[in-house]
Amino acid sequence: MDTDDDFLSAMSSEDDMLPEDDSENEDMSGVEDFGFDDEPDPDIDMHKEIGAKKRVAYDVSFKVYQPGDIQKQQDDLIDEVNMILDISKEEAAILLRHFRWNKERLIEDYMDRPGKVLDAAGLSRSAAGPPKMETIPGFTCDICCEDGPGLQSFAIKCGHRYCVDCYRHYLSQKIREEGEAARIQCPSEGCSLIIDARSLDILVTPELTERYHELLNRTYVEDKETLKWCPAPDCQNAIECGVKKKDLDRVVPTVSCLCGHRFCFGCILNDHQPAPCELVKKWLKKCADDSETANWISANTKECPKCNSTIEKNGGCNHMTCRKCKHEFCWMCMGLWSEHGTAWYSCNRYEEKSGTEARDAQARSRVSLERYLHYYNRYANHEQSARLDKDIYVKTEKKMVQLQKESGMSWIEVQYLNSASQALQTCRQTLMWTYAFAFYLARNNLTEIFEDNQKDLEMAVEALSAMFEKPVTELADPKLKVEIMDKTSYCNRRRVILLEDTAMNLAEGRWTFNVELTGSGANGGPSTRR
């Protein structure tokens, strides 16, 4: 179950045929099974970790937790503190939340000055019996001013007593409307005593208890730097990863949830390898700021460079053939396709203009815009192509079902198309970010290797994309099927090679960027959800 195995073997075409569970991310197979013990070493050295486990450079250790796991972790910690400090579980829970689940610090501080710790966490020191509902003669509720005989009332340790209805109303408002759970105080003005879990269990209705525990779980995840919610809508899982904020200039911590969503643990955005979080943030901001300048590029139509007739792009493939004059050209650079097929000449590389051209400010700004557009064009294009590839896949799939009915092919046999589609999506996403990465990359002796890797991946992806656009009748040809399967695994392999190279150099600080990386660029997306 471990990932020590050479995972390039996991990329062979046989594996691409594995049904379902593996098709999502071949390159990540088994990664979820590898992770931390319950309590990760706070000073885990990720470089050492990578070395020790012989992991590929761009992989980070992470673990996916489902709601039940999250609950169990809290319960275990609570039990432990309950035993060590000889306090009730309710109090242990409150103290742990107060200390943001830092068990060691809690125990240390508590041993030192228990009174101070209890006060600070809103736990009073007097140890009366457990709270219960009571009917006290002559009692008037200070909130609703009711004083009828038989009025049930409740108070936590501080003795501030209110009728049960008011207490319930108060709690339901806090829990349901304000999303408050771990730190609900006594309803009395000026009293900061926190209402413990046992009192809540006595008071709240079952459906509220559920919400309450859900909120408590949330604070557990949100309080820990090593835990983050999977941002996929409706996903309840959390991911644990030891990569710290300060590491983000050296690693792009990409994690993958059981729900299939792959995202960056550093900034919660979708997988943006190989670009570090901070560059991603800068790039997205730049794109937003310059959107008007760049808009025309992502347009779906362009003119044929030879006959000027309008050409619409409706597939992901960038190899265009003009319907009218049959001119073959590259959608990205509008150059001759014939020159791409063999060498991909320098479609991916931006040729820096020599200094003489860029003397005056105006020329410099033109050059800088041109340079940006070169990268943006390719970035936006892969984003768009990924979408178009997917459309084609959906259409193809429909036709395939039709074909299967007619020809008697079994469903499993066309899974290769799904794998190919997945590979195209993943590789284009990587390619997209290679252009943002390249935009900020300052030339050094390593950039050429990077550009070659980028070029190789791009060529492979375009070739696969082109096969993909073949008519369904041709796709059913067993020979083409083998070709597509081979190309799919080749694409995945090229992606791994590119990511390994970029991640390794990033980890060792060998890239130079033309902007400064402070290492605190990603202040984590919205990690608080309610």
Partner 1 sequence: MASQKRIAKELAECTSSPPQGMTIKLPNDSDIHKWHVTLEGPEGTVYAGGKFGIIVSLPTDYPFKAPSITFSTRIYHPNVTNDSLGNICLGLLKPENWKPSSRLSSVLEAVRALLVEPQPDDPLEARIADEYRQDRKEFDKNARSYVQRYAKGPVKFESGGGESGGGSTSNTGGGGN
Binding interface with partner 1 (CB under 8 A): 142-146, 160, 162, 165-166, 169-170, 173, 178, 185, 187-191
Q: How far is the CB of 126 from Zn ion (least distance, A)?
A: 12
The whole-angstrom separation of Cα 177 and Cα 102 is 28
Toward partner 1, which CB reaches closer, 176 or 327? Answer: 176
The whole-angstrom separation of Cα 305 and Cα 302 is 9
| 275 binds Zn ion per the rule CB under 5 A | no
Catalytic residue among 141, 166, 267, 317: 317
8 A C-beta contact, residue 468 and residue 420:
yes
The whole-angstrom separation of Cα 84 and Cα 79 is 9
Restricted to residues 451-490, the positions that interact with Zn ion (CB under 5 A) are none
- Binding-site member from 161, 174, 218, 261 for Zn ion (CB under 5 A): 261
| 373 binds Zn ion per the rule CB under 5 A | no
Toward partner 1, which CB reaches closer, 168 or 250? Answer: 168
**Residue 427 appears among annotated catalytic residues:** no
Q: How far is CA 527 from CA 7, 223, 239, 265, 268, in A?
A: 32, 10, 12, 11, 8
Among 286, 376, 341, smallest CA distance to 455 is for: 341
Q: Which stretch binds Zn ion (CB under 5 A): 66-74, 155-163, 444-452, 482-490?
A: 155-163
| 259 binds Zn ion per the rule CB under 5 A | yes
**Of partner 1, Zn ion, none, which one does residue 164 interact with (CB within 5 to 8 Å by kind)?**
none
List, in sequence order, the alpha helices (H) in 205-248.
Answer: 206-223
In DSSP terms, which residues pair with 513 in a beta bridge?
441
- Binding-site member from 60, 117, 186, 317 for Zn ion (CB under 5 A): 186
Toward partner 1, which CB reaches closer, 162 or 331? Answer: 162
Q: How far is the CB of 422 from Zn ion (least distance, A)?
A: 17
Q: How far is CA 24 from CA 120, 340, 518, in A?
A: 48, 30, 34
Q: How far is the CB of 173 from partner 1 (least distance, A)?
A: 5
Site string for Zn ion, 133-152 (x = CB under 5 A): --------x-xx--------
Among 345, 315, 319, 314, smallest CA distance to 332 is for: 319
Q: How far is CA 310 from the centre of its chain?
A: 39
Q: Which stretch binds Zn ion (CB under 5 A): 179-187, 211-219, 393-401, 500-508?
A: 179-187
Which tokens belong to 509?
């600080």
Strands 162-163 and 301-303: unpaired
Toward partner 1, which CB reaches closer, 100 or 169? Answer: 169
Q: How far is CA 300 from the centre of its chain?
A: 29
Q: How far is the CB of 459 from Zn ion (least distance, A)?
A: 10
| 158 binds Zn ion per the rule CB under 5 A | yes
| 237 binds Zn ion per the rule CB under 5 A | yes
Q: How far is CA 100 from CA 33, 110, 193, 220, 518, in A?
A: 26, 14, 18, 8, 27
**What value does the CA radius of gyration of the chain take, rounded to a whole number of Å?**
30
Phi and psi dihedrals of 149, rounded to 5? Answer: -70, 145
**Of partner 1, Zn ion, none, which one does residue 189 interact with (CB within 5 to 8 Å by kind)?**
partner 1
Among 167, 189, 169, smallest CA distance to 177 is for: 169
**Of Zn ion, partner 1, none, which one does residue 388 interact with (CB within 5 to 8 Å by kind)?**
none
- Binding-site member from 322, 386, 392, 436 for Zn ion (CB under 5 A): 322
- Binding-site member from 191, 284, 358, 367 for Zn ion (CB under 5 A): 191
- Residues with catalytic annotation? 317
Binding site for Zn ion (CB under 5 A): 141, 143-144, 158, 160, 163, 166, 186, 188, 191, 193, 230, 232, 235, 237, 257, 259, 261, 264, 266-267, 277, 304, 306-307, 322, 324-325, 327, 330, 332-333, 335, 347
